[in-house]
Chain A
Amino acid sequence: MIWVGVVVTSLGCLAIKAVGYALPSRVIARPVVQRVAGLLPVALLAALAAQQTFAHGQSLGLDARVPAMMVAALAVWRRAPFLLVVVLAAATAALWRMALG
């Protein structure tokens, strides 16, 4: 099942790019298309960030990921590079669990 998802996602993402070069410009240039496509990543990335911070399956809760995200937010605000943000978050969660577990 994961392979099906991998293949559909991979070919789908490639097809979207190819279709962009095949469609007439006036379709792509429509303001509503541009606006929705610009806002989709904002809503999806925010939703993914929030859900993966607070959700365990279908239940919500607070655990080591919350302090990790606070550190990550601080790092993002200080314009830290991508890898540093990710490593700081992982290290915070790991240390938090070590200290409390």
Chain B
Amino acid sequence: MGVALATGAYGFSFGALGTAAGLSVAQTCVLSLVAFTGASQFAFIGSIANPVSATLSALLLGLRNGLYSLRTRPILGPRGVRRLLAAQLTIDETTAMAAGQGTAEAARLAFWATGASVYVLWNLATLLGAVGAAHLGSPQHLGLDAAEPAAFLALLAPRLTDRRAVGVALAGAGVAIAATPLTPAGVPVLLAAGVAVVAGVRSPRAGGMADRTTGASG
């Protein structure tokens, strides 16, 4: 229930900020229906000044969803159409809920129940937010230009779980700000992605991370 309520609020924000950023209601809804991964969608509408880098930022943010299958696939083992359906529902929320269960049966149930409710609520809330904001007025007047960075901050905070994450966040923000006057729109954020790649490749604690990752899959 908590997840569902949070999803509604989050989807409503996305819908409202999507149309405020200049997307049509239909474009905002297509993102929620097909992309169905919040952080990527926020990144896309937030960087829309340069659609190419907006798309690249969104895809880079979506890469983590591809890796969640490591945890969900052994639990679900879906085939055929169900596999594509499971893939579409493999996001932060469903992976976390499935991983938090004691038995495989409970994990399967948690995955499908969370996935179905989040999908429905996310899309309904997006539509409501998009239609609602289209009738509101000037984004600047309403402070919606400040709502976007606040949304990114709220998405970032739960990921700052250790000192390395904090370091990567600070470095990423620093690189983006330093590059802003020097490069075209959208490029600074992609440069910041380079910080994550360098930090991830160079980590001295490779073994420890791997053990923890596979350990969590059971």
Chain A residues engaging chain B, CB cutoff 8 angstroms? 1-14, 16-21, 23, 25, 28-29, 31-55, 57-60, 64-65, 68-69, 72-73, 76-77, 81-83, 85-97
Q: Are A69 and B51 in contact (CB under 8 A)?
A: no
Enumerate chain A residues within 8 angstroms of B44, measured Cβ to Cβ: 5-6, 9
Chain B residues engaging chain A, CB cutoff 8 angstroms? 6, 9-10, 12-13, 22-23, 27, 30-31, 33-37, 39-44, 46-49, 51-52, 54-55, 57-70, 73, 78, 83-84, 86-88, 90, 140-157, 159-160, 164-165, 168-177, 180-181, 184-185, 188-189, 191-193, 195-197, 199-201, 203, 206-207, 209-210, 213-214
- Interchain CA distance A69-B149 in the complex, whole Å: 7
> Nearest CB to that of A95 among chain B residues?
B143
Question: Would you mind naming 7 contact pairs between A and B with Cβ atoms under 8 Å apart?
Answer: A13-B34, A35-B201, A37-B64, A40-B193, A68-B150, A72-B149, A97-B143
Q: Are B185 and A57 in contact (CB under 8 A)?
A: yes
- Other A-B pairs, 13, CB within 8 Å; known A55-B188, A89-B147: A6-B31, A9-B44, A14-B88, A16-B66, A17-B69, A25-B73, A32-B203, A34-B67, A47-B176, A47-B191, A86-B147, A92-B143, A97-B140
Given contacts A29-B213, A87-B147, are A2 and B154 in contact (CB under 8 A)? no
Q: Are B209 and A35 in contact (CB under 8 A)?
A: yes
Q: Are A50 and B173 in contact (CB under 8 A)?
A: yes
Q: Are B189 and A42 in contact (CB under 8 A)?
A: no
Interface of A is mostly: helix
Given contacts A10-B34, A42-B165, A54-B177, are A76 and B143 in contact (CB under 8 A)? no
- Interchain CA distance A90-B17 in the complex, whole Å: 11
- Interchain CA distance A48-B176 in the complex, whole Å: 8
A89 CB, nearest partner CB in chain B, Å: 3
- Interchain CA distance A41-B210 in the complex, whole Å: 19
Partner of B27 from A3, A40, A47 at Cβ < 8 Å: A3
Given contacts A28-B69, A39-B196, A47-B176, are A9 and B13 in contact (CB under 8 A)? no
